[in-house]
Structure 1
């Protein structure tokens, strides 16, 4: 399309304007002018005059239409909601390619840099500034100018470094007036001098609060709705839209916050009641326990009184029992003395008869027989002794393996043999001792060797090195202390190995390199730490180490028979150093013959002889040259490990052999010692000490003589029988007499003892009278012992009584202690829980009167006052806060319906379709949480005037639970709080389309399932209704602020839908500023008062082409031409 327009120039140089005024008389504040300076692809200053009837921005995509509308959004929308170029992005919410920086810098493209990155191209890459202003005017001439100035320094591309100021003036304003700001290096203080009548703020909040008051915009929500309207193409969910953009946040939240805030006073009053009750509950049991404690102390005093009377009571009982025992013993003693006199007479008579019979026997030869019988008994005793000694001697013979002798001559010969064996046995014992010592020494030495071998095996199994275990242990300790790995300080021998084909030379090579192989290699970077540690530490070993500083390759060539050629080297940091060191100091020729050995300057033989120089030679045969136990070279130790395992096995076998030999030696020593002891016994025992036969002959001879003597005296047998019978009779009489005498002696002793005890009675105890309590109490405790009580049992009975009293005292003491602990624990709980109320009292029994005085005050005065105040506050806050909250929720619910009725009145005057209009219906939602919340409110408010203590407590719990949830920061409670307090969520909105007869044509819950045009029409209608609701107020027919921006709002709608939507906006009294593609121009022309064509050149310079407007036809004056009309670039 080619557009032509008359040229209109501003009075100021280089500033082009679009003048399309079409004034209407109204008190509404309408946009009359827009100014932009260096905004996006518009460079310089551009001024657009806007007619009252509205304005149209026409142009292709990407020309800059949305850039102009985004300037409006930046000036009037809180930054937290600003979203640039939304209409073009539609659903691409995350791809936000425009921001304040891109508009200030004038970003126009992204190009690939030399590094391959995509970088924005800017029209203004250095320090620059931008500005935008809008002038609003009503028919009375009142003017409000809103402006924003932005600047960025240097070449910064950081959005956060864009600075901004907001301005409000109440007069005509030209952006040229801001030149001073850039000229003074963006010094904000200059506004006081160069623009003193401007209201200047750097925060949007104060700025928007002022301009909303000047323009008649009641809420910040209206600004958000206006911004959403600018880019709205799809309504989405109707309920979300109505709640977010049409309905204000309910005041119930503020009342709930007040309820939460003021609840603290009620909570404190309730806490005072609870604390008072808890204090009473804490101290009251202590008071009851104190009464019980008094009872226990009284009981303790009674027991102590009993205990103090035990000794006096016991002494009285002792005196009584002693007196009773004395009388009893005297009667018994008199009876026994009479009995003893009779028994003594019978004993003496029996003894006289026995002596008479014994005299008769002696007269008839009885003395000779008694003498012979004594000799027989002596001979029998000697025979027994000889028999026992003979048995011991014969056992010794058996131990020696000798036959027992039968004659004195044989025994004499064997005694000589025994003496000879004793002499020989001493020498053999010495030999066996030496043998055992030698075996033990070998066993111990071999055991130690085995332990060392096993240690070597263990070390070799842990790691691959052939270096001795003690040296490896030292290295491990050094590495640990230095904090490095052992591999960082290797032994030289771990890096050297004899080639397999030269294995026969290994023993000789090991002799030469043994010392060097056990040297530690230290890297130069570790040298300082290594030397310092070694210098301060006693390792217990000889440590040789090399500082392996870098050394140049000597290029030295060794001979083909050189020891060095029989070696291989491990790869690593030290390999080259080791190779060069061996070339320099160990280039020994390996000589196969002694002749070659003598001829070489330095050489070794396979037998291990070493020639160090022309004069110094060495052959160290302390170990065999082929003994691998001393080898230290090699990358791994498999061969050495196998060798030591074999040695360990052989040592175990040798130790077992030695053990068996020691056992045999021990057995031989025991046998030899046994024989020695037997021979000693034989040597020291003469024949007559074991001559049993002679003793038998002597006994037999004496017995025969006794028999002959008896036969020659036949009367003695009868006399012996009489003597035996009389002796028995006498013995019986003597025993009876002695027994009676013993009883008399016993009774006499008992009587003396009692008399002694009687003299020992303690008069100081007997002289003090017992108290009635002591007498009664001790009688009761001794009662079970009295029936068989004696002096002897008195102490035991008293002990039991004392134990019972002590047990009772311990029980009482335990109860007293428990009661004291319980009372003091309660006092401690009181002090810990209520330190202020405790007033510095100690939680001890000494403070009990003060605590119980507090208890008395709490019961009689404190608690009733606290309860009275709690009930008063409960009624007061319930009426002030809960009632207001419940009323507010109901009022807000009613307000939604009232306000929707107002909106529907407006919708009824605007056609939605052909002969139809929309009605937005409000329906209550059944929400369980909301129902429960309202029920809780009613429960907390019911019967408030007739509350008793129990009801008040229950009512407080209800209120407390509500407040806790309302104040909770947990996510689930916050969601609940928003649900129950936000009345907007208690209702559901449904848009119904009715015809003129009131018949429903369509139901809309959202734009889902509708065509693009239908969605845009529904969106426009609901937006118009929402704007009317937010901007119109309840007492005005038309909104005071009425300017509405739409960006490509009708790109998917046909002409009919577009006309209907615009009619709705016009019906509601809005001034429409629309950006649209070319296809919608003709439909939108009747609803505006002017237009311009937005064009962009070279993709980076936007200009406008004004279009004249014919008020009579309400059409733009468009005429085809050969080319575009004159452009109006920004100046």
Structure 2
């Protein structure tokens, strides 16, 4: 290797001088490796522990979130991570098969243990920085999460044996203050890295990530990703956007204030308009109130006026009628005088005798009619009794006495017949009730297979509907139990003992509260028993061999097990075949239905037959019960028909008996002279003969009688006319009196009060509208219509007022709900409306203009400035990338990449639609910055708001978009061009794809060296202050020429190289180091490092002979 010129900056470089490991991985105990200043080489076979040493460096210098142990060995295979802090602290050395056939890691340290690692850095001025970590784990845990550690930074030399105090005091971190007070000790990596980066001259955390990537770099991968992640710092645009988002909050607040003020005005202005309508509506209602107040006065005064007019009209008519009555009275008297003269003349001619005889004849005719009617009644009664009608006094008297005798026995016979009718009617009603009940049961049984009575099923249905629970979730216990077919002879007895339990509702615990509340608040009209299905505290004992439980089957439902346990706990009755077995059992039943509940309580309930299927409630199938009820329904329908016919016959007999009773009463209460028609007929005939003889002796009376009849007719006509007219006169007088009485009913207090002009005109118009031709009699009707109209108008006005008030209060409530901070102690009631309207006036005059001006000022000044800075920064960041690449290229120009060639990294702009759209949006947002037009300002704000919302969004798509448009590094592509000495392109590299393994490693080494120089050297240092670079198994695919060229690049950039490599690469790497160690592992589980002498002059390792795979000869060197 050519002699490197001494740079003044080399004396300031911090270089690794010592590595110490204690119980790290397969290195048991303490290992100290002194590192030569020019560089160091760890050689040895695969699996000896080279990467273990380099992983200790990674643990010391790399943030935990980036650490990837043994990555060089895994890079090509893409295997999962196989090493972690726990494997290093425990000393994992192999995977072996356990007795259970599983793979398990084998550890050197299986109990509580501790580990320490340290690196000592020194510059030529004697400045020392030591980075150290202490790790420990308690017990036998193998979880990486149980590894605890402390980070240490010291500015003096450190021997790891100084840390023995820490495990001696049970890993008490407080002991560092006493035993190592000069150490900077932290439990977190962040303050630890800030401390050592400052001491070692590492400017950014990004450099630590690059150093870790370099440790295992064999392939560059994508050049763009590498340049963006490791060569370029995140742009300042992200901070500017964060500032923009923060500032936008103030602008957004100002905009919200404008919007809020506008919305407040829009909320209160309609309320103010409604308030004006409200005033008009209240005035209209007051006018209606005034009219309503005058209605009674107007009605009375109008009635008085109309009554006075009617009385005057009626009195005029009465005067005319009185004169006519006088005239008609004279005519009647004249006709009566003529009639009286004719009657006097007839009396003088013997007419009085004939009048007496005629009177007697008339009386006899009346008697005949009465007796004839009475005789017909008697004959009808006799017909009902099947008796011949009586035609003489003796026969009549016999029949009357027989009727009276029959009446004496009538009450007893009628009572017996009534009792029979009642009995039949009661039987018919009972049968009908039973039939209806049976029909209900039939319908319920046809609707579902349950044997539970219909009334209980209806209760469950109502309960389930009210609670929104399916009926299947509320079964009756009987629906889950059935007597086995082969035990059918015991069904009646089992039904009897389980009758109550079977009709109990089963309620799961999750529905218990709902069911309990519903039944407590609701009268269901039935006795309801429900069982809360809580788990039994202990498992019930198994039933005996004769237990009724063994004669049962259970439905395949979730509640079945609970029901079975309940039966075991409470109904484990023996089925006793004999009375002796019944007496001997603690609990038992017999086929006859006798139940023994315990040693003292026994029960036999024979109110129903033990084998009556209508009483059965158990079973999954109700076919037997349905058949029984259908038979019962048929029997009852036949019984109802028989009873109907019997009842009709009884009612007919009862009606007949009542008719006979009436006939007996008719005869019993009649005397013979009331029905003796023949005797009165004889009297009539005698009187008629007498009258004819008297008339024959007085022939002139007939002519006079004719004249009298004519005069009687004339008098009767005159009398009737006069009488009718007097009736009309009296009616007219009554009418006038009635009108006068009506005037007396008028209320003086209403007549004395004068109406207002508005009342007079308003009521005149309304009365005329409803009844133009009004009389005193129709005043009330007209008033009713007027009052109804006023009331309707008042209701409409009141409703309108109420609507307006509610509308105003609703808007005030909306205002308070949306802006509670603006309430100022006001509430949403009409009493507060004036204060709200005063607030509206202030908003219109001052609040809104002030908020609009502040919004425009912020929009013009603050946001525009931030957006302009962001736009400028995007351009500056793009220029910065070009400038940074120029610095990198300056270093690359002096570094040979191939024979007579060097690399140049160029940038090319990417045309990305999202980026272009984003920049256009920025320009739009910055346009019309000085506008004062509200609409344009709103449009510009909307553009900014949309942009800022997306920039601030946490949605994955928006975050990706934000990263794209703000990260200027993604706006360019990087291309590495290999140029010859004449600047002519030899080859282009976009990544390592398609290149040989050696080419990829050379490209990776070149770019990594340039990136490290850029990240660690900065722009002010000629050489990086921190110069140590670790490479794990580097150049294993490159030839000697490529390897030497890559190492020259790192040396040119001033780096101290610490390399782990297989033996085959040693000769090529010897010139670039100052020392080496051979890493050896014994028994596959204990590693060690054997120093190898180095010939500084010859720049080569001094080996006694080439080491074999196990390193034995190297160990002897």
Instruction: Determine the C-alpha separation between the residues in 1 that align with 2:674 and 2:995.
Output: 145
Asked if structure 2 preserves the Cα contact closer than 8 Å seen for 1:24 and 1:53, the reply is no
Aligned equivalent of 1:922? 907
Bigger Cα displacement from structure 2, 110-119 vs 1025-1034: 110-119
Q: 1:944-983 counterparts in 2 under 5 A?
A: 944-983=929-968
Aligned equivalent of 1:902? 887
Match of 2:1088 among 1098, 1103, 1124: 1103
SS at match of 2:46: coil
Instruction: Determine the C-alpha separation between the residues in 1 that align with 2:965 and 2:104.
Output: 50
Asked whether 1:387 is paired with 2:372, we answer: no
In the TM superposition, what is the alpha-carbon distance from 1:702 to its structure 2 partner?
5.8
SS at match of 1:839: coil
SS at match of 1:120: strand
SS at match of 1:96: coil
Alpha-carbon distance change, 411 to 799 in structure 1, aligned in 2, over 3 angstroms: closer
Instruction: Determine the C-alpha separation between the residues in 2 that align with 1:223 and 1:68.
Output: 18
Deviation by residue 1:311-355 (Cα, 9 ceiling, x = unmatched): 444454445434433432332222222222333334444555666
Aligned equivalent of 1:984? 969
In the TM superposition, what is the alpha-carbon distance from 1:729 to its structure 2 partner?
5.6
Asked if structure 1 preserves the Cα contact closer than 8 Å seen for 2:219 and 2:1004, the reply is yes
Instruction: Determine the C-alpha separation between the residues in 2 that align with 1:192 and 1:182.
Output: 15
Alpha-carbon distance change, 225 to 310 in structure 1, aligned in 2, over 3 angstroms: same
Instruction: Determine the C-alpha separation between the residues in 1 that align with 2:13 and 2:867.
Output: 41
Aligned equivalent of 2:328? 343
Alpha-carbon distance change, 702 to 507 in structure 1, aligned in 2, over 3 angstroms: farther
Task: Calculate the TM-score normalised by the size of structure 1.
Answer: 0.75
Aligned equivalent of 2:35? 50
Asked whether 1:513 is paired with 2:605, we answer: no
SS at match of 2:930: helix
Aligned equivalent of 1:233? 218
Aligned equivalent of 2:657? 676
Asked if structure 1 preserves the Cα contact closer than 8 Å seen for 2:406 and 2:664, the reply is no
Q: 1:716-865 counterparts in 2 under 5 A?
A: 732-755=717-740, 765=750, 768-784=753-769, 788-865=773-850
Alpha-carbon distance change, 1000 to 387 in structure 1, aligned in 2, over 3 angstroms: farther
SS at match of 2:21: strand
Aligned equivalent of 1:494? 547
In the TM superposition, what is the alpha-carbon distance from 1:1098 to its structure 2 partner?
0.9
Deviation by residue 1:667-725 (Cα, 9 ceiling, x = unmatched): 55335434433543454455999999985997799699969978987999998887777
Instruction: Determine the C-alpha separation between the residues in 1 that align with 2:753 and 2:653.
Output: 86
SS at match of 1:34: strand
Alpha-carbon distance change, 541 to 848 in structure 1, aligned in 2, over 3 angstroms: farther
Q: 1:83-162 counterparts in 2 under 5 A?
A: 83-90=68-75, 95-113=80-98, 118-162=103-147
In the TM superposition, what is the alpha-carbon distance from 1:85 to its structure 2 partner?
1.0
Task: Calculate the TM-score normalised by the size of structure 2.
Answer: 0.76
Aligned equivalent of 1:463? 482
Asked if structure 2 preserves the Cα contact closer than 8 Å seen for 1:520 and 1:546, the reply is no
Aligned equivalent of 2:508? none
Q: 1:192-203 counterparts in 2 under 5 A?
A: 192=177, 194-203=179-188
In the TM superposition, what is the alpha-carbon distance from 1:72 to its structure 2 partner?
0.9
Asked whether 1:1033 is paired with 2:1018, we answer: yes
Aligned equivalent of 1:568? none
Deviation by residue 1:751-804 (Cα, 9 ceiling, x = unmatched): 344445556666655555444434443443344468523333334334444444
Number of positions where the alignment pairs a residue of Structure 1 with one of Structure 2: 1000
Instruction: Determine the C-alpha separation between the residues in 1 that align with 2:142 and 2:132.
Output: 24
Instruction: Determine the C-alpha separation between the residues in 2 that align with 1:884 and 1:823.
Output: 49
Asked if structure 2 preserves the Cα contact closer than 8 Å seen for 1:1090 and 1:1109, the reply is yes
SS at match of 2:547: helix
Alpha-carbon distance change, 700 to 936 in structure 1, aligned in 2, over 3 angstroms: farther
Instruction: Determine the C-alpha separation between the residues in 1 that align with 2:988 and 2:682.
Output: 153
In the TM superposition, what is the alpha-carbon distance from 1:360 to its structure 2 partner?
8.0
Alpha-carbon distance change, 685 to 760 in structure 1, aligned in 2, over 3 angstroms: closer
Asked if structure 2 preserves the Cα contact closer than 8 Å seen for 1:237 and 1:1007, the reply is yes
Q: 1:193-342 counterparts in 2 under 5 A?
A: 194-342=179-327
SS at match of 2:578: helix
Instruction: Determine the C-alpha separation between the residues in 2 that align with 1:360 and 1:1087.
Output: 189
Deviation by residue 1:179-204 (Cα, 9 ceiling, x = unmatched): 55455555544544554444333321
SS at match of 1:166: strand
Aligned equivalent of 1:544? 598
Instruction: Determine the C-alpha separation between the residues in 1 that align with 2:876 and 2:786.
Output: 87
Instruction: Determine the C-alpha separation between the residues in 2 that align with 1:446 and 1:944.
Output: 95
Alpha-carbon distance change, 314 to 371 in structure 1, aligned in 2, over 3 angstroms: same
Asked if structure 2 preserves the Cα contact closer than 8 Å seen for 1:31 and 1:136, the reply is yes
Asked if structure 1 preserves the Cα contact closer than 8 Å seen for 2:424 and 2:647, the reply is no
In the TM superposition, what is the alpha-carbon distance from 1:220 to its structure 2 partner?
0.7
Instruction: Determine the C-alpha separation between the residues in 2 that align with 1:247 and 1:151.
Output: 38
Aligned equivalent of 1:73? 58
In the TM superposition, what is the alpha-carbon distance from 1:853 to its structure 2 partner?
3.4
Aligned equivalent of 1:472? 498
Instruction: Determine the C-alpha separation between the residues in 2 that align with 1:647 and 1:297.
Output: 77
Bigger Cα displacement from structure 2, 383-392 vs 871-880: 383-392
Deviation by residue 1:968-1000 (Cα, 9 ceiling, x = unmatched): 444444344333333333344445556666666
Instruction: Determine the C-alpha separation between the residues in 1 that align with 2:612 and 2:586.
Output: 11
SS at match of 1:960: helix
Instruction: Determine the C-alpha separation between the residues in 2 that align with 1:104 and 1:622.
Output: 84
Alpha-carbon distance change, 749 to 642 in structure 1, aligned in 2, over 3 angstroms: closer
Instruction: Determine the C-alpha separation between the residues in 2 that align with 1:113 and 1:311.
Output: 113
Instruction: Determine the C-alpha separation between the residues in 1 that align with 2:716 and 2:1043.
Output: 157
Instruction: Determine the C-alpha separation between the residues in 2 that align with 1:933 and 1:783.
Output: 79
Asked if structure 1 preserves the Cα contact closer than 8 Å seen for 2:588 and 2:595, the reply is no
5+ residue gaps, structure 1, are 1-20, 499-505, 522-539, 548-620
Asked if structure 2 preserves the Cα contact closer than 8 Å seen for 1:415 and 1:682, the reply is no
Instruction: Determine the C-alpha separation between the residues in 1 that align with 2:431 and 2:740.
Output: 83
Alpha-carbon distance change, 344 to 1049 in structure 1, aligned in 2, over 3 angstroms: farther
In the TM superposition, what is the alpha-carbon distance from 1:74 to its structure 2 partner?
0.9
Alpha-carbon distance change, 366 to 1047 in structure 1, aligned in 2, over 3 angstroms: same
Instruction: Determine the C-alpha separation between the residues in 1 that align with 2:421 and 2:318.
Output: 80
Aligned equivalent of 1:939? 924
SS at match of 1:1102: strand
Instruction: Determine the C-alpha separation between the residues in 2 that align with 1:165 and 1:1129.
Output: 38
SS at match of 1:939: helix
SS at match of 2:846: helix
Bigger Cα displacement from structure 2, 648-657 vs 1114-1123: 648-657
Asked if structure 2 preserves the Cα contact closer than 8 Å seen for 1:429 and 1:669, the reply is no
Instruction: Determine the C-alpha separation between the residues in 2 that align with 1:643 and 1:308.
Output: 80
Instruction: Determine the C-alpha separation between the residues in 2 that align with 1:278 and 1:376.
Output: 107
SS at match of 1:797: helix
Instruction: Determine the C-alpha separation between the residues in 1 that align with 2:432 and 2:293.
Output: 80
In the TM superposition, what is the alpha-carbon distance from 1:78 to its structure 2 partner?
1.0
Cα root mean square deviation, aligned: 5.2
Alpha-carbon distance change, 1122 to 995 in structure 1, aligned in 2, over 3 angstroms: closer
Instruction: Determine the C-alpha separation between the residues in 2 that align with 1:508 and 1:198.
Output: 93
Aligned equivalent of 1:874? 859
Deviation by residue 1:6-55 (Cα, 9 ceiling, x = unmatched): xxxxxxxxxxxxxxx99965254333332323322223333333344433
Alpha-carbon distance change, 670 to 448 in structure 1, aligned in 2, over 3 angstroms: closer
Match of 2:1031 among 1032, 1035, 1046: 1046
Match of 1:1023 among 1001, 1008, 1029: 1008
SS at match of 1:946: coil
In the TM superposition, what is the alpha-carbon distance from 1:75 to its structure 2 partner?
1.0
SS at match of 2:945: helix
